[in-house]
Each structure stands twice: as C-alpha cells, then as structure tokens.
Amino acid sequence: MKSEKNKEALNLIEKAVQDHNAKELNQGIDEAFLQRIPANEIRQSLFQGLELSRKKLFTPEAPLPQFLLSLEVLHQGLKRLSSAEGIGKSGGIPLVIGVVEGDPHDLGKNIISRIYAASGYEVYDLGTQVPVDAFISSVKEKRAKVLALSSMISTTMAQMPEIIKRVKAESPDTVIMVGGAPLDINLAKSFGADGYAESAVTVLEETEAAMERVSAKEKW
C-alpha cells in the first residue's frame, strides 16, 4: 500500500505533466527518489499525466501546442529516470520507427518515438509515408533490434503484413511492433507482428515483452 507521501509525489508528477510544468515535475521526481518509489511507478505517473492531457487534445482547454508542451515535460521526466537507472550511457538498443506509406499522420508516432528515445533506445525516425523498401534498408543499415510501424488509416494499415513479411525475411531477429487507431491485438497477431501497443502508456512494457518472446523463440 502506498504511503501518503508516495501518493503526493506521484500525483505531483502526474499533474506536472498534465500542466506542462517542468519545475513541479522535478520537485515530484526528487521527492519520489527520496521516498525510493520504484521507477516503474514514477513512469506510470508520467504516462498518466500525458494521457490526461491527450484526452483534452484539440479542445479549448488543451489545444495542440499545450499538449506538445506536456509531451516535452514527459520527455524530460523519462530522461531523468533513464539517467538514474543508468540506461543509455553506453548506447541504446537500435530502433527504427515510421508511419507506413500513404499515411501522413505523425502525432502518435512522434509521441512513441520520444518515449523510446527518452527511455534509452537509439531511435531512427523515418517520418511518415515510408515505402516498404525504406523500412527494410533502414533495419539492415542500422542493425535494428526493433522496428515500430504506425498507421492511423485502415487502408494503409493493410500494408503492414507485407512489410513484416519482408523485414522478417531479411532480419528474422528484429522485433516488430505495430500500433495505430485501426489496430488491435488480434490484427497485430494476424499480420505477423511480434507485439502491439495500444497507447504510449503500455508501449515500453509491451516492447520489452515482445523482445523477450522473440529472444526465447516463444509464440505470442
């Protein structure tokens, strides 16, 4: 059971991200470290703050610029956690990320990309409308351990099985994560992906689980 001081620190972190207040964020993280709150609990509070901000996105209360400020504060918090945990000091896990060809939507991809980068991954962001061959060549060139594919449109999402099939043929040990509004876990499995993240809140945990499955040659 969390103590009142623990709750106060975690609530402060959550509110600081929602209010994009870097000063309060640092105060909350300092207090969390002082109380020896586990990193995963601090991380969840960071993500919860962003999720609350996202739910207000495109409303007068939280227009896009305000949400992007919340994302920046989240990024700062994740970097502090990674630094405290000693992650990323000797080079992170190479990860390629991009939105499939025909889809210009990059907000979700940008959020996930920054979360990966702040959490110690060595991120190569290919942007939007990425052709199949570009994904394959980048995975090979960067020796990517993870490929993260995004699509917000059901018609462009249909390219994912071909991308996954070709990447696995060239780099069978690369872990392939998929995400986007039209996807769910069953579609991800049917496409041949190794993992699926419903949101920024679960992406790190789901990616780690997928990497463990692939390493152990276990079926998803």
In the three-class reduction of DSSP (H, G, I as helix; E, B as strand; rest coil), residue 125 is classed as strand
- Joined tokens for residue 215: 């390493």
How far CA 85 is from CA of 3, 44, 92, in Å, comes to: 23, 16, 13
Q: Which residue has the tokens 């419903």?
A: 198
Q: What is the pLDDT at residue 87?
A: 63
The CATH class of the 94-215 domain is alpha beta
- Tokens representing 104 are 């210009």
What does the pLDDT look like over 193-207, one tens digit per residue?
A: 999 999 887 899 999
What ranges do the domains of the chain cover? 4-85, 94-215
pLDDT at 83: 83
Is the full-model pTM beyond 0.85? no
Q: What is the pLDDT along the chain (220 residues), one digit of tens a residue?
A: 567 889 999 999 999 999 999 999 999 999 999 999 999 899 999 989 988 888 877 677 667 788 889 989 998 999 898 888 776 544 589 999 999 999 999 989 998 998 998 888 999 999 999 999 999 999 999 999 999 999 999 999 999 999 999 999 999 999 999 999 999 999 999 999 999 999 887 899 999 999 999 999 998 9
What single string gives the DSSP state of each residue in 44-104?
HHHHHHHHHHHHTBTBTTB-HHHHHHHHHHHHHHHHHHHHHHTTTTT---EEEEEEBTT--
C-alpha distances in Å from residue 96, one per residue of 13, 65, 148:
29, 26, 6
pLDDT tens-digit profile of 138-156? 999 999 999 999 999 999 9
Q: 4-85 — its CATH code?
A: 1.10.1240.10
